[in-house]
Structure 1
Amino acid sequence: MNSIISVLVAYNQFLLLQIQQLLLFIVKNIPLKSPKYDVTSPKYNKLTIDKLPVIKQPERLNYTVLLDEYKFNHGKNLKPVKSRGSNPVPTDTVCHRCGAPHDYLYNNTGGRGQLLCKVCGLRFNKDKNDFKIGALVCPYCGHILVKKKDRKHFNIHKCVNKSCPYYLDALNRLSPEDQAEYQQDKHKFKLHYIYREFTIDFFKMDLSSMPKGATNLTFRNFSSHIMGLCLTYNVNLGLSTRATARALWEVHQVKISHTMVANYAKTAAAIVKPFVDNFDYKPTNYLAADETYTKVKGVRHYVWFIVDAIKKSILGYQISSTRDVGPCILAMRMAFAKFKEFPGMALKFAADGYTAYKLAQQQFMLQGMDFNLIQVIGLTNDDPVSTEYRWLKQIIERLNRTFKFSYQVTNGYGSAEGSNTHVALFVAYYNFLRPHSYTYWQPLNSIPELESIPNIPGKWQKLIELSQLLILSKQAS
């Protein structure tokens, strides 16, 4: 018996020694809390947004004024250039600085590109923008940016200066392993300064266009009350159009097709949308944004939501087939339009680490609308910013879950109009009809005309009537 105990004690000591060695190995080689990636590595600079470039504004001259000055100083006119070579200056060429026509330009290098203006003395290349007004300049080295790529909605400009401090600093921060990889696959790293110049003006796009396929509200076979019942079952209770039609027959003995239910929803969405978008929400200075996905004909689409984090109302929304900066800007425009006076840097705009929000912030800065963008990274509080503003991100995540519940019954949309209809009605229901625990099970926004109506179908009818009156008033003005 004693021999067995001594063997077990020796074996336990051996196991404890092994565990101690394993713990030492883990402490030395495996960090207990490692990030997904090292955000300080230049290899992941593609996930960051560089600051805005400097717009070069060289002295702009007027060649007619210079010609008058020459005549005053010399007592004669400045003669045009008499081209005798085989490479005359093209007739559509003008001086980049003074605007002198081709008559006053020398082909300075025999057709190799450089031109000389006889009026202002500028040497320039017709095909380069080194001396053009408004040239983009690297903010770190002052070198003219070179246009590298043409994308669908933007151009990519790059600083190719190998002596640029931005490039040298990023190159020095590469580890020996990364430097070896950089020499083989340079496209995997972003070491040079890059600027995206958008070619489409997202600030002039219409935000209130009517959807296709909307019909009028001339009721022939059914009444407005039946339409209110359709919206109640379809939107409030989250039933599909077919389930709504079946419920109307089984509960109310109303024979209606699911196509008519869809038409009612589409028309109601078109009419209610102006009222929802133009309502005075009196937003606070705390906004939260996020994007979730839906399916349209089996293809992934994205829904962008921007919510007032204090009052919980949805202020901006947009549906897009791509997850790029365009729909992000449109949703932010819709939300910012709710402010009677833009709060500027007092606005705290919380979002995740997706780069579209940084790009959108740059575009709003160009419009003179700067704000405080707070990016809450990941699912855990790994930095002080995420710890302080995690609650903002949780609010928009709860909204996404609520939207997902209403979306799941559709099993995806059959068309883009169907997705637009569902989201517009969901926002109207969420902001004005849905009871919330935050407001003691009352709607988020109180409308006196709706408070006296006891049932939801009647509230839908009244909401549509109020929106119609708003549309008529806007048309009259």
Structure 2
Amino acid sequence: MFSRKIPNFLLKPIMNFVLLTYLFFARLFQVDFEPNNKLDDSYTKFNSFDDPQPIIEYNQVDYRDILAEAEKNGETIQPVNRNKPLTVKVEECSQCGAPKKYLYSFGHDPDGYQKFQCKLCKHQWAPKKPKKPKNHPTYRCPFCNYALAKEKKRKHFTKYKCRNDDCSKWKNEHKRYRYRAYNFDINKLELSRPDKEPVNLDHSHYGNFTISKAIDFYVSLGLSLRQAERALKLAYGVSPSAQTIQNWTVSLAYRLAPKINELDLPLSGIVAVDETYIKIKGSWHYLFTAIDGENGCVIAQHLSKNRDAKGAITILKRIIDQYQDQKFVLVTDMAPIYRAAVHAAKVFLKTNIDHKQLKGLFANDDNSDEIYRPYKNIIERFFGTYKAHYKRHKSFSSFDGALTHITLYQLYFNYLKPHSSFNDKPPLIVEGARGQPIESWAQLIRWITKTDR
């Protein structure tokens, strides 16, 4: 057999070619790489928790109010003593509506357009310059009243920064005042949940027993839809299709999701929040989860396309609503999105949160918050348990399908799954119409059917 060693100078090009070929086919056939956990640095810089909100100018001021205020304070404002006529025809201030007798020339802007300044409101503008549409109010620094300049624009917020070198914050702390303006209403954020009901479970000819067993195979045992289909055929001699089982699960999750908030959920005052990743149609999505530190039950879950501050704020808002103005300790990792969420909760939701952050998987004696690491480990163990159920799916085929599995697993984990730490019983109990505990999917389906009537 002919054999010959490859020359050394060819080894590196050959290895590079093999590596590039592997990476090409890995991406082509969707090899299961972990997502990139890197976050941009736009989350790392924002105001101190003690900084006030900016002065926001939503509407134009009225020059008559300015004159009346000055008259009240004994400081009458006289019209401009003009030596030369205005070179550009202008009738009034574009900000407060002051007549042109209160306007004076103020040089030219960088593009050569004549500028004017109003003596009353100090507004500067160039009348002949083409105007750009303004889609946000004017934000002013609360320390110096200087208009904030746009620093960065991100998908869910825009960062503004005070660039005034005479600002008292800059002079005293050598830090610029920053403000993050979100492009969504924080008070209207809601947890993700299925938004459709493909079939009416009450009119299925298979009956609640078959439906409950399908849910049991799919959620409780962690089988895939096709494995659940085969298990039903082998165990009970019925053969609904995988799509039918999927319709059952989505419809049940759709009906149960609004009632999760009504179920009994004892709270200990310690909440651990973290996120893990799952794949939907070949793309990574992030599952934010909040777990009670003492009871180990799931408080809330939110599925998001991005690992960003909006997802963190959404689940934190749900925790705040659950606690109903009671204080709690929030335990998270060092991801800056959680600090941004805590900051947003204080500013917009008027809630002060005791936030404890832990770095990495191992203890750090220099961190005073290390006593809270056991609570962080609880949520890591939950993700391990959930991934054991999720791994057979590899990738969900739709966003609603993923939400369905997450919603039903939360109910199963809290109210149906036997836990060794609770003497092989569920940590929480749902009571039926007659006060009896609900211990199976069949009883849960009957309960939801009766409560919907």
Equivalent residue number for residue 122 of structure 2:
123
1:446 maps to 2:429: yes
CA contact (8 A) 2:194 2:404 kept: no
Tell me the TM-score normalised to structure 2 length.
Answer: 0.75
Deviations 1:432-477 (A, max 9, x none): 11111222111111123298478624233234336x43xx6xxxxx
Aligned partner letter, 2:203: F
Identity of aligned residues (%): 23
Q: Decide which of 7, 30, 48 is 1:51's aligned counterpart.
A: 48
The 5 A counterparts of 1:99-248 are: 100-101=97-98, 105-109=102-106, 112=109, 113-117=115-119, 121-126=120-125, 135-137=140-142, 145-161=148-164, 194-207=178-191, 210-212=194-196, 214-248=198-232
* Contact residue 156 and residue 196 of structure 1 kept, 8 A: yes
- 1:162–1:168 CA contact under 8 A, matched in 2: yes
Other-structure match for 1:328:
312
Residue of structure 1 in register with 2:239 after alignment: 255
**How far apart are the structure 2 equivalents of 1:279 and 1:218?**
22
Q: Distance in 2 between matches of 1:353 and 1:72?
A: 53
2:199 is paired with a residue whose SS is coil
Alignment check: 8 A CA contact 1:305 1:331 kept: yes
The separation in 1 between residues aligned to 2:56 and 2:228, in whole angstroms, is 66
- Corresponding residue to 1:371 among 345, 349, 353: 353
Counterpart residue type for residue 108 of structure 1: S
Q: Which residue of 2 aligns with 1:342?
A: 325
Letter in 2 for 1:259: Q
- Measure the CA separation in 1 of the matches of 2:67 and 2:186: 42
**The residue matched to 1:255 in structure 2 has which SS?**
coil
Partner AA of 2:429 in structure 1:
S
Instruction: Report the residue type matching 2:350 in the other structure.
Output: G
| Contact residue 87 and residue 107 of structure 1 kept, 8 A | no
> Residues 453 and 90 (structure 1 numbering): CA distance in 2 closer, same or farther, change over 3 Å?
same
Distance across 2 between alignment mates of 1:225 and 1:90: 79
- 1:24-103 map, 5 Å: 47=44, 49-52=46-49, 53-55=51-53, 63-65=63-65, 85-89=86-90, 93-95=94-96, 100-101=97-98
Cα distance in 1, alignment partners of residues 265 and 101 from structure 2: 61
Q: Aligned to 2:249, what secondary structure does the other structure show?
A: helix
SS of aligned partner of 1:54: coil
CA distance in 1, matches of 2:345, 2:70: 45
Specify whether residues 420 and 398 from structure 1 end up closer, same or farther in structure 2 by C-alpha distance, changes over 3 A only: same
Quote the Cα distance in structure 2 between the aligned partners of 1:437 and 1:163.
Answer: 63
Shift of 1:310: 1.0
1:225: Cα distance to partner?
1.5
Say if 1:361 and 1:373, in contact at 8 Å, map to a contact too: yes
Greater Cα offset, 195-204 or 228-237: 195-204
Call closer, same or farther: CA 1:161–1:361 in 2, change over 3 Å.
same
Residue 143 of structure 1 and its aligned partner are, at CA, apart by 6.0
Amino acid at match of 1:375: Q
Inter-partner Cα distance in structure 1 for 2:211 and 2:64: 70
The counterpart of 1:425, out of the listed 408, 412, 437, is 408
CA gap of 1:241–1:70, structure 2 versus 1, over 3 A, is: closer
Residues 1:70 and 1:158: Cα distance change in structure 2 (over 3 Å): closer
Distance 1:325 1:349, change over 3 A: same
Shift of 1:49: 4.7
> What does residue 184 of structure 1 align with?
none
Q: Which residue of 2 aligns with 1:271?
A: 255
Please report how far the alpha carbon of residue 324 of structure 1 lies from its aligned counterpart in structure 2 after TM superposition: 0.2
Gaps of 5+ in 1: 1-43, 172-190, 473-477
Normalised TM-score (structure 1): 0.71
1:362-415 deviation per Cα after TM superposition (whole angstroms, max 9, x unaligned): 111012111101001112221233421111100111111111111111111111
* Count of paired positions: 390
Deviation at 1:315, TM superposition (A): 1.0
Partner residue in 2 for 1:415: 398
Q: Match for 1:391: what amino acid?
A: P
What is the aligned partner in structure 2 of residue 399 from structure 1?
382
Structure 1 runs of 4+ aligned residues shifted over 6 Å read: 58-61, 68-73, 78-83, 163-171
The C-alpha deviation readout for 1:181-233, integer Å capped at 9, x for no partner, is xxxxxxxxxx8554322121122134476523533224343112111111111
C-alpha contact 1:282 1:338 (8 A) present in aligned 2: no
Question: SS at 1:123's partner residue?
Answer: coil
Indicate yes or no: 2:284 matched with 1:283: no
Indicate the RMSD between aligned Cα atoms, in angstroms.
3.9
d(CA) in 2 for partners of 1:156 and 1:69?
33
Q: Secondary structure at the match of 2:429?
A: coil
**Unaligned residue ranges in structure 2 (runs of 5+):** 1-40, 110-114, 127-133
Q: Distance in 2 between matches of 1:88 and 1:439?
A: 81
